[in-house]
Chains A and B, each alone.
Chain A
Amino acid sequence: MDVNVPDARILPSSTALPASATAWRGRQIFWTVVLLAVVFGAVPAAITATGSSYLAQIAITAMIFVILSASLNHITGTAGLLSIGHAAFYGIGAYAAALLSTKLGLPFIVTLPAAGLIAAFVGFLVAMPTMRLVSIYFAVATLGIGEMIYVILLNWVDLTRGPMGIRGIPPIELFGWQANTLLSRYMAVAVIAVVCVWVLHRLTHSYYGNALRALREDDQCADSMGIDVVRLKVEAFVVSTFFAGVAGALLSHTSAYIAPDNFRFMESILILAMVVVGGMGSLPGAVVGALFMIVLPEALRDIGDYRMIAVGATMFLSILLLPKGMLAEGASLAFVRRAFARGWTTMSGGTPVGWK
């Protein structure tokens, strides 16, 4: 019951493709367990053992940036629309959550999805007129829109309190349970980050993801294969901005204070750098890139003022030595097919192909 039936020229679709072998199932469980054990076991254990609030803070920041980097990878890496204004949607989500909770007193269970939906709605409004732009023109449009949103956050003082930012944002709270300790805050953020990455994983590692990659490679050609290019691009942008908004809400509720400078152009570039350093189009790469770019400056704290130089240099060297990223797209897709049993195996024993 394997895919490759060498002499049958045309396979009836009902018999063609088998369920994956049990060996694959085992490997999927292995990798899932390893990842969950690190996120929910090793990291909290380290935080508890060292009792370090500093470590917890980094872990929370890292999780937020994992969401940002993975969501930017969805639109820029997978669908190929270079966005250099991602931080603006992060900002919209953060401000939405902050204002909804401080002004209207809404609970986290409402502000979190609301932040995502508001960011996604703005993303939709932005996407409609800009989707027919190609290559660098789209990038510059996102830059312009990102800067516009920044200017609005900074100057609409009545709503956003301008450069003073918003203080006193309540911490994460679910039906009476409050994330008061840093550890519980980390756990809450980690759960949400894992869900976000899982959703992006399902979208990317599927035939839907293949359609997105086709847009990136050659959108006119995808068009003539029956792919509704504009709709798909808008969808990808909306999904990406939704998750940026969710990340923003997490920032608001974990740091209690936000200001416009958290969402400037350089922040967008930092997120883009995570995607590129990790590997454009590679979801595992986006995650690793985010961790790397957050942990590296902290690891370099001892060299004090020189650490930003070291960050720039590391970024430069990693791009120079690994221009396709630490985990290049092709290898990552093959890895996911194998490790999470997402692909179809062939009898000839070659690499798994396609998506489940």
Chain B
Amino acid sequence: MIFDIFLLQQVINGLSIGFVYALMAIGFTLIFGVLNVVNFAHGEVYTIGAFIGLMVITALAPPLVAVVPLVLAAGALSGVGLERLAFRPFRRFTDEASQKSRAMREATLLSSLAVSIIAREIMMHLFGGDMQGVPSDYLLQRPVAIGPIMVATGSLVIFATSAVMLGALQFLLYRTQTGLGIRAVSNNQLGARYVGIDTDRTIVTTFAVGSMLGATAGILVGLYDGAISPHMGFAPGVKAFVAMVMGGLSSIPGAVACALLLGVSESIATEFLSSGWKDLITYSLLVITLVFFPQGIFGHGRERA
């Protein structure tokens, strides 16, 4: 019985990690959907979210609920800037050879990587390479008893925020004109342009939305862990990327499900393995998934001839 409760606790911890991955994975998926390109700078958006949140907290000491909108705004802004800088310039190559050229595709991928290096280095300069502590008033580590189990306030805040954001995203995608645009461009960019959708604007919006989710994930984890550093975005970025691919690249529910799966299995794995080995679980899951589901679990088959 003791064991079961313990396991349950780990599952809950894992779910909160999983939701963080999920928030990031959705950003990846949305952006991959409209552009067919991986955004390597997504992890930096997460870091920016955390630092902006921290700056706001130390400068203004506002109530926690007021931090979130500011982080959202910062996320949206960095998403728009990222798109302008790293992605838009490459859309000028529209001839057939360029479109089919792998060199071109990989160039776009690396442009976001280059921007992410620049962003990370600038943050190193501004904030230093070390961990920054979070003022203890804002730490989300207080345990709350729910029946027999103890849950950190951070987990609860992550659950609540994720629920709100997923709901809002669902509303945006399926109930608004903007969402219709995003879905249309994801489906078929050329077709969407023919029916009069402003694809450039849709792409920018997608970056803004995806980055808002990523930045929020960053500040939540920062407050939960109590430490913020310029390198913090790397690991969750890779995990979220993995979740997106396992989910089949273009499926948001798939990405969320796989992100939760990764979070929970990591959290349970720490019970059996020393923490150094826990990442092995994530990557083994990834490789096994790809061997058995070459298009991800929720992906589509490849068309022939």
Contacts and interface: CB of A to CB of B under 8 A. Distances in A.
Interface of A: 76-77, 80, 82, 129-130, 132-134, 136-137, 140-141, 143-145, 147-148, 151-152, 154-155, 216-217, 220, 265, 269, 272-273, 276, 279-281, 305-306, 308-309, 311-313, 315-316, 319-320, 323-325, 328-329
B305 interface: yes
Interface in B195-249: 234, 238, 241-242, 245, 249
Contacts of A305: 125
B283 A134 contact: no
Given A141-B290, A144-B286, A151 B276 contact: yes
Interface residues of B, number: 47
A137 B299 CA distance: 11
A146 to B, nearest CB: 9
Given A148-B284, A155-B276, 15 more contacts: A80-B102, A132-B294, A136-B249, A144-B287, A265-B234, A273-B113, A273-B114, A306-B121, A312-B115, A316-B114, A323-B93, A323-B107, A323-B108, A324-B107, A328-B103
Interface in B112-130: 113-115, 117-118, 121-122, 125
B117 A308 contact: yes
Nearest to B280: A151
19 contacts: A80-B102, A82-B106, A134-B294, A136-B249, A143-B241, A147-B238, A273-B110, A276-B107, A280-B102, A280-B103, A280-B106, A306-B121, A309-B117, A311-B117, A312-B114, A312-B117, A315-B117, A323-B98, A323-B108
B38 interface: yes
B94 interface: no
Given A129-B291, A148-B280, A329 B103 contact: yes
B141 interface: no
Nearest to A322: B107
A324 B103 contact: yes
A81 to B, nearest CB: 10
A147 B103 contact: no
A140 B280 contact: no
Rank and list the top 9 A-B pairs by shortest CB-CB distance, nearest first: A312-B117, A316-B114, A280-B103, A312-B118, A323-B107, A144-B283, A144-B286, A155-B276, A315-B114
A247 to B, nearest CB: 21
Contacts of B245: 136-137, 140
B89 interface: yes
A22 B34 CA distance: 54
Contacts of B90: 320, 323
B296 interface: yes
A319 B238 contact: no
Nearest to A277: B110
Contact of A154 (B118, B276, B287): B276
B290 A140 contact: yes
Interface in B255-285: 274, 276-277, 279-280, 283-284
Contact of B305 (A144, A145, A220, A279): A220
B238 A148 contact: no
Contacts of B234: 265
B102 A147 contact: no
Nearest to A140: B245
Contacts of A328: 103
A141 B103 contact: no
Contacts of B164: none
A324 B287 CA distance: 31
Contact of A144 (B98, B242, B274, B277): B242
Contact of A308 (B102, B121, B291): B121
Contacts of B103: 77, 276, 279-281, 323-325, 328-329
A145 B287 contact: yes
A319 B112 CA distance: 10
Contact of A148 (B104, B276, B287): B287
A276 B106 contact: yes
A210 to B, nearest CB: 16
B301 to A, nearest CB: 11
Contacts of A143: 238, 241-242
Pick from B90, B93, B106, B108 the residue with the most CB of A within 10 Å. Answer: B106
B242 A140 contact: yes
B295 interface: yes
Contacts of A137: 245, 290, 294-296
Contacts of B286: 140-141, 144
Nearest to A138: B290
Nearest to A152: B280
Interface string B127-139: 0000000000000
A288 B106 CA distance: 18
Given A137-B295, A141-B287, A312-B114, A319 B107 contact: yes
A272 B110 contact: yes
Contact of B302 (A82, A134, A309, A311): A134
Contacts of B102: 80, 82, 216, 280-281
Nearest to A308: B121
B111 interface: yes
Contacts of A265: 234, 238
A137 B290 CA distance: 7
Nearest to B287: A144
Contacts of A281: 102-103
A147 B283 contact: yes
Nearest to A154: B276
Contacts of A144: 242, 283, 286-287, 290
